[in-house]
Amino acid sequence: MGHSNTNIDTSPLRTKQGRDPSYDIARGIAIYLIAIAHVLRTGMVLSTIGVSVLSVFVFISGRNAACSSAFHLPLRSLLKKKFSSLLPSYFFCAGLSVVVFLALGRFAGSASDISLSKGLFQILYANSKHDGMKWNTALWFLPCLFMLFLLAGWMLQVHPFPRLWMILTLLLFFLTPNCFSQLRLPWQIESALHLLPMFLLGLLFEGSGLQRKFHALKSNSFLSFLLSLLFLSTYLFLARLNGEVSIRTDEYHNPFLYLPATICGCAGILLLSQTIAGQKKKAFPFDTKTLLTSFGKESMT
C-alpha cells in the first residue's frame, strides 16, 4: 500500500512538533469519560458514555493510521509494532488483576470459580463476555484494539482502497448488529469487526475535504463550541431512543439509530477538543488545553 493510494496531504495540519493537539485533547476527554463510566458501572449513562468514548479512540486511531507509516509496513512488522505498544501493558495489568482477584476476591466469595490456571487461560484467550475476564473486565479493549489494527492492516494490504472496505464492513454491521453477542472468539475478534467502520471512517476523514473544514474551525472557537453542543445533543437524543447498548458484548439494538448516534457523539467530542485547542485565553482557573493535551499523549492509541 503506497501513500499515493490514499492521497493524503497532512502537511498544513500539524503543529511544529508534528502533532495536532486537538486529537490529544479528544483522547484526554475520552479517558476522563472512561473513568466516569467505570465508576458508574451499569445503566443508561454508562452505555451512553462508553459508546461515544470508544468511537473517539477508534476514529482517531484510523486518522492516525493515515498519517503513520506503520500501515505501509508488511503485516508481520505491523504485528510486532502493535504488539510492543499495546500488549505488554495488557499482560502486566491482567496478571496483576488475577493475582489480586484470587487473593482478595475470596473474602467476598466472588473468586470461588476462578483458579490460577483458569485465570491465565482467560488472559491468553482475552474475551470478556459472560464473565470471561471477571478479574478485570475493563481490559478487554486492548486485545480487541490489537485485533482491529491487524484486521485493518490485512485489509488495506489485500486491497488498498478504504472506501471498499468501509462499504463491506458497514454491510456486515447492518446485517449482523446483534448476532455476535453470543460469540466468544479469541481476543474479541467479533467486536473488532464491528468497530472497523469507525476506524475506516477516521482513515477516510484524514484524506477528505471535511478534514480541512474541521481544522479551520480552530480559528472560530465559538462556532466549533456551538457545533459540538449540536452534535452532542443529537447524540444523546438518538442514544436515548436506541436504549442501552454495549460494544463489549456486541449489543447494539437498532443499527440505524446506533451508527448515526455514534458518529454524532464522536463529532461532538472532536469539535469540543477543537474548541479547547483554539482557545486564546484561559477559560478556567487551570490550563485546560495543556492538561488535556498531555493526558491524551499518554493514552494507549
- For the segment 145-174, what is each residue's pLDDT rounded down to a tens digit? 999 999 999 998 888 888 899 999 999 898
Q: When comparing pLDDT for 299 and 72, which is higher?
A: 72
pLDDT at 50: 66
Q: Name the packing angle between helices 162-175 and 189-206 (round to 10°).
A: 140
Cα 153 to Cα 164: distance, rounded to the nearest angstrom: 14
At residue 246, the 3 state secondary structure works out as strand
The C-alpha cell that represents 20 in the structure block? 495536532
Q: Beta-carbon neighbour count of residue 102 at 10 Å?
A: 16
Rounded to 5 degrees, what angle do the CA atoms 289, 32, 166 make? 95
Please identify which residue in the block is written with the cell numbers 502493535. 82
Number of domains in the chain: 1
pLDDT at 209 over 90: no
pLDDT at 41: 63
Structural domain contains residue 3 = no
User: What is the rounded average pLDDT of the residues 263-281?
Assistant: 84
**Dihedral of the alpha carbons of 84, 88, 90, 96, in degrees to the nearest 10:** 180
pLDDT at 18: 53
Cα 1 to Cα 76: distance, rounded to the nearest angstrom: 14
pLDDT band, very low/low/confident/very high, at 214 (cuts 50, 70, 90): confident
Structural domain contains residue 186 = yes
Structural domain contains residue 229 = yes
Out of 29-33, 73-77, 184-188, give the one with best mean pLDDT.
184-188
Structural domain contains residue 130 = yes
Q: When comparing pLDDT for 105 and 28, which is higher?
A: 28
pLDDT at 242 over 60: yes
Q: Which of 204, 163, 197 is nearest to 65 (CA)?
A: 204
pLDDT band, very low/low/confident/very high, at 13 (cuts 50, 70, 90): very low
Structural domain contains residue 276 = yes
Cα 24 to Cα 206: distance, rounded to the nearest angstrom: 15
Residue 229 belongs to domain spanning: 20-297
Contact 253, 265 (CB under 8 A): no
Structural domain contains residue 232 = yes
Structural domain contains residue 156 = yes
Structural domain contains residue 13 = no
